[in-house]
Chain A
Amino acid sequence: MPTMTMIEAIRDALDVKLADDPGVVVFGEDVGFFGGVFRCTAGLQKTHGIERVFDTPINESAIVGLGVGMAAQGMKPCVEIQFADYMYPGFDQISQEAARLRHRSNQQFTCPLVIRMPTGGGIYGGQTHSQSPEALFTHVAGLKVVVPSNPYDAKGLLIAAIEDPDPVIFLEPKRIYNGPFYGHSAGEAAGWSSRPEAQVPEGRYTVEIGKAAIRRPGSAITILAYGTMVFIAEEAVRQTGIDAEIIDLRSLLPLDHAAIVQSVEKTGRCVVIHEATRTSGFGAELAAEVQEACFWHLKAPIQRITGWDAPYPLAAEWDYFPSPQRLGRALIRAMED
């Protein structure tokens, strides 16, 4: 089985679906001839032709709006927003159009559209190349929101997203495109080849949207994480030696409620971690879900480790980005309660 980076796995998923289904089209800024600024679509135009993989003007509302029209007419557009930070001009089309079309037309029209976008920080990108806007999407009824944390899931979830009958926001944690990230900002980056999740089968397979994965079974405390934070959680567990259960949510909407409840009922403790700002972040939703469902099993308050409620900084990035040390301290606090 070949080893792939997340970029290669995403490209492979697109390649498989472009070959599989003549309705699939891929477009966005720089995605055509050049293959995307992160190279996720490199070579696809050459293989599948310019009618299937093409460049667009720098206009996110047009990219999504065209996608809505094409999807409603029966195609399967898989569009790229160059950075999640750039999606805001397209948010009207995403939240009011793509998300609502099936419902408001009473299923006369549907919108099987996939919107890919690199998300998150850790790449010295400053405030316009580092944001994590997932909670803006999970607040919209009618969307599905997924965040893969490794190459195997990235390919399987992207194929599932393209085959899904409804619009899917596909957030790609760009910090781990080329390898897992354990929070050592000054150290050398590890490659994907060291990880079993980089073993990616050839051809079509899917990872079900709405199912979380237990990355590390444990009995002392539950860590709810997604994207890059899965590896921060692994590192915090290594540093503290606490027997935590790490749940990689993979899909935020719909959420794998059962997996979360099962784990917290077992451990009685829960820490949530994400890169996005804290107030009204997805962690608030997770904490609320956990206390509603597991209140009588809890032995300690649920804690949130998140980005601070400030714009994403450049120089102070590593004071902002949730570190294994911050998470480790939260784990220790939770165990003391």
Chain B
Amino acid sequence: MVVGEAKLNFPGPPARPGGAPDFSLIEVPEPGVLPVPPLDIDAEASEPFAKGMIRVLDDAGNAVGPWADGMGSLDPAHCVQGLIDMLRMRIIDQRLLNAQRQGKSSFYLQCTGEEAIGCAFQRQLSPGDMNFPTYRQQSLLIAADYPLAALMGQIYANDCDPTEGRQLPTMHSSRDYGFFSISGNLGTQYVQAVGWAMANALSRNGQIAAGWIGDGATASNDFHSALLTASVYQPPVILNIVNNQWAISTCTAIAAGASRTYAERARGYGVPALRVDGNDYLAVAAVSRWAVERTRSGLGPVAIEWFTYRTAAHSTSDDPNAYRPRDEAAMWPLGDPVERLKAHLIGRGIWSEQQHAQKQAELFDEIVTTQKEVEQHGTFVNPRPFSPAKIFEGVYAHLPDHLRRQRQEMGY
């Protein structure tokens, strides 16, 4: 036995600003290798799926392997819809980022590079199912066909905002579109998704819930609480982990420690877990469909690690060039979800560069038109505020006397 000195480990990313991006430690398995497991797979048998990575699209844009042809996700209309959803998402992100830069909102947060995950997942859900998203899952709303005016109104905190200016931009809430009110406190909603799913099972309503958490917030106690209680009570919940490599400036190794994958961590709780190429729309769609079917069939929870990269800054308050190489995103080995699906569709002859450019222009016009209309209702630089007395509405179902007195003291 070699005897040495105790020495602490302080994990860091492979490269910092000024250095060359280095993803050599990331293993990218060949697409099409992993089979489609039986719906009732248990945690033990899910080991290869938690350690490996389910991928469908190869580098040439071909859909390969059992996940490609087994889940019906190659339907042309479905694929084109996916591309349009992602394009729409990307343009909206860009427009709202610009609006923040112009001072029209106080804050924005993009999901660039991660569009495939929310867009493909949402299209597999049914009305009544509920997501418990983080603030980077606005793509769920896009693929749920959430009204754009409501989404933008929330950013501008004007009267198009269904939550009437109560929350930081991007903290959306829509019961009708299966999008639980975002807290902004990381992790807390992961275990609430389990509770919601338990209520689904107790009331036998056939609905499922989906929890969402980032790789950084897997460090929170709520990650443990959610995985443990999902394992104990076996409710119909899908526990999604979006591993985008960065938690503001903190690299994923600080949350992962010496563990290999987050899916493996979930599997340690006795929850079957899979790891998926999150930049591969077809893989996301196929695995989501499989997970939804499993969960709705009463076969218990499942955890999915979506492996991706946060291309944009954490938020408009963040500058990633201060902590990672400027060109790291361009070197991400799993590519860009929009480009990959586009190449696939063109390769199949059901899409073309011309159609792509035309669709992009159409979406741009539609989004800009709506944006201009919504901005007429007020922006951060040109506010048309709600009555401040609104802050007293909904603290409780019925306004108690002490709040009535405070509202009067405020002058209303």
Q: Once the chains are docked, how many angstroms separate the CA of A257 from the CA of B400? A: 11
Q: How large is the interface on A (under 10, 10 to 19, 20 to 34, 35 or more residues)?
A: 35 or more
Q: Once the chains are docked, how many angstroms separate the CA of A107 from the CA of B173? A: 10
How many whole Å from A107's CB to the nearest CB in chain B?
A: 5
Point out the residue from A75, A89, A100, A210 that lies within 8 Å of B203, measured CB to CB: A75
A57/B229 in contact, CB under 8 A: yes
Residues of chain A contacted by B166 (CB below 8 angstroms): 103-104, 106
Q: Once the chains are docked, how many angstroms separate the CA of A67 from the CA of B225? A: 12
| CB of A43 closer than 8 Å to a CB of B | no
- Name A94-131 residues within 8 Å CB distance of B: 96-97, 100-110
| CB of A218 closer than 8 Å to a CB of B | no
Q: Once the chains are docked, how many angstroms separate the CA of A64 from the CA of B164? A: 27
Residues of chain A contacted by B209 (CB below 8 angstroms): 69
| CB of B53 closer than 8 Å to a CB of A | no
Tell whether A25 pairs with B202 under 8 Å between CB atoms, given A62-B191, A104-B163.
Answer: yes
Residues of chain A contacted by B203 (CB below 8 angstroms): 23, 73-75
B196/A105 in contact, CB under 8 A: no
Chain B's closest residue to A144 (CB) is: B396
| CB of B232 closer than 8 Å to a CB of A | yes
| CB of A307 closer than 8 Å to a CB of B | no
Chain A's closest residue to B164 (CB) is: A106
A109/B402 in contact, CB under 8 A: no
| CB of B397 closer than 8 Å to a CB of A | yes
How many whole Å from B231's CB to the nearest CB in chain A?
A: 10
Among B21-29, B118-126, B180-188, B363-371, the stretch in contact with A: B180-188
| CB of A61 closer than 8 Å to a CB of B | yes
Residues of chain A contacted by B199 (CB below 8 angstroms): 69-70, 73-75
| CB of B62 closer than 8 Å to a CB of A | no
Q: Once the chains are docked, how many angstroms separate the CA of A275 from the CA of B398? A: 31
Q: Once the chains are docked, how many angstroms separate the CA of A255 from the CA of B402? A: 8
B397/A165 in contact, CB under 8 A: yes
Q: Once the chains are docked, how many angstroms separate the CA of A299 from the CA of B87? A: 73
How many of B's residues come within 8 Å of A, CB to CB? Answer: 47
Residues of chain B contacted by A257 (CB below 8 angstroms): 401-402
How many whole Å from B93's CB to the nearest CB in chain A?
A: 23
B181/A166 in contact, CB under 8 A: no
Chain A's closest residue to B400 (CB) is: A254
Residues of chain B contacted by A92 (CB below 8 angstroms): 185, 188
Residues of chain A contacted by B397 (CB below 8 angstroms): 102, 110, 165-166
Contact digits for A164-175, partner B, Cβ 8 Å, 1 yes 0 no: 011000000000
Point out the residue from A70, A104, A110, A142 that lies within 8 Å of B198, measured CB to CB: A70
Point out the residue from A66, A75, A109, A144 that lies within 8 Å of B181, measured CB to CB: A109
B196/A73 in contact, CB under 8 A: yes
A106/B394 in contact, CB under 8 A: yes
Chain A's closest residue to B185 (CB) is: A96
Q: Once the chains are docked, how many angstroms separate the CA of A93 from the CA of B396? A: 17
| CB of B213 closer than 8 Å to a CB of A | no
| CB of B174 closer than 8 Å to a CB of A | yes
| CB of A337 closer than 8 Å to a CB of B | no
A109/B173 in contact, CB under 8 A: yes
Residues of chain A contacted by B191 (CB below 8 angstroms): 61-62, 65-66, 69, 93
B181/A104 in contact, CB under 8 A: yes
A108/B164 in contact, CB under 8 A: no
| CB of B251 closer than 8 Å to a CB of A | no
A65/B394 in contact, CB under 8 A: no
Residues of chain B contacted by A106 (CB below 8 angstroms): 162-164, 166, 173, 394
Chain A's closest residue to B171 (CB) is: A104
| CB of A141 closer than 8 Å to a CB of B | yes
Point out the residue from B167, B175, B198, B224 that lies within 8 Å of A66, measured CB to CB: B198
Contact digits for A136-155, partner B, Cβ 8 Å, 1 yes 0 no: 00000110100000000000
Point out the residue from B183, B202, B398 that lies within 8 Å of A51, measured CB to CB: B202
Q: Once the chains are docked, how many angstroms separate the CA of A61 from the CA of B167? A: 24
Q: Once the chains are docked, how many angstroms separate the CA of A109 from the CA of B222? A: 20
Tell whether A65 pairs with B183 under 8 Å between CB atoms, given A57-B232, A107-B394.
Answer: no
Q: Once the chains are docked, how many angstroms separate the CA of A97 from the CA of B192? A: 9
A108/B175 in contact, CB under 8 A: yes
Query: Which of B132, B167, B189, B395 has the most chain A CB within a 10 Å cutoff?
Result: B395
| CB of B301 closer than 8 Å to a CB of A | no
A108/B173 in contact, CB under 8 A: yes
B229/A62 in contact, CB under 8 A: yes
- Name A277-334 residues within 8 Å CB distance of B: none
Closest 5 CB pairs of A and B: A69-B195, A65-B191, A66-B195, A105-B181, A69-B192
Q: A100-B183, A102-B397 provided; 8 other pairs, C-beta below 8 A?
A: A66-B194, A69-B198, A73-B203, A75-B203, A97-B189, A97-B192, A107-B393, A166-B396
Chain A contact residues, CB within 8 Å of chain B: 23, 25, 51, 56-57, 59, 61-62, 65-75, 77, 89, 92-93, 96-97, 100-110, 141-142, 144, 165-166, 210, 254-255, 257-258
